[in-house]
């Protein structure tokens, strides 16, 4: 049973456009929802994270939207750049130093 479902699997966006990646979760005990960026051969790097007490969080060009009732959250990358081309993973965890559960990833390509 996949606890975090991520879509789309791949995404091509024009430079300057908005990249949108969606995730849905099932476990209502999850209370921490991060997004990670991964380049080939590297470990994941934390981009931005949100907790259920807010519906939106913005850091620079990256925004997380969170819908607790729908159990969904999304990542928006504004003014997408070729350097943003990477694989993005959503994840979730519950309190108590528990491991992250990852979505399957979205391969983003930003073309000029």
Partner 1 sequence: GAVVSQHPSWVICKSGTSVKIECRSLDFQATTMFWYRQFPKKSLMLMATSNEGSKATYEQGVEKDKFLINHASLTLSTLTVTSAHPEDSSFYICSAEAGQGVGYTFGSGTRLTVV
In the three-class reduction of DSSP (H, G, I as helix; E, B as strand; rest coil), residue 52 is classed as coil
Binding residue for partner 1, selected from 20, 27, 100, 109, defined by CB under 8 A: 100
**Structural contact between residues 34 and 25, judged by C-beta atoms closer than 8 angstroms:** no
Give me the least distance between CB of 16 and partner 1, in Å please.
27
Structure tokens at 85: 């081309």
Residues in Cβ contact with 86 at an 8 Å cutoff, skipping those fewer than 6 apart: 37, 38, 39, 108
State yes or no: residue 20 binds partner 1 (CB under 8 A).
no
**Shortest distance, position 112 Cβ to partner 1, whole Å:** 24
Residues of this chain that interact with partner 1 (CB under 8 A) are 32, 34, 36, 41-46, 49, 89, 91, 93, 97, 99-105, 107
């Amino acid at each position: 049973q996949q606890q975090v479902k991520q879509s789309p699997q791949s995404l091509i966006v024009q430079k300057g456009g908005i990249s949108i990646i969606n995730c849905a979760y099932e476990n209502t005990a999850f209370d921490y929802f991060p997004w990670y960026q991964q380049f080939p051969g590297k470990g994941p790097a934390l981009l931005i994270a949100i907790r259920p007490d807010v519906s939106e969080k913005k850091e620079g060009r990256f925004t997380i939207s969170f819908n607790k009732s729908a159990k969904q959250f999304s990542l928006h990358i504004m003014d997408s750049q070729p350097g943003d081309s990477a694989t993005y993973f959503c994840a979730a965890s519950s309190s108590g130093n528990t491991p992250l559960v990852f979505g399957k990833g979205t391969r983003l390509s930003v073309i000029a």
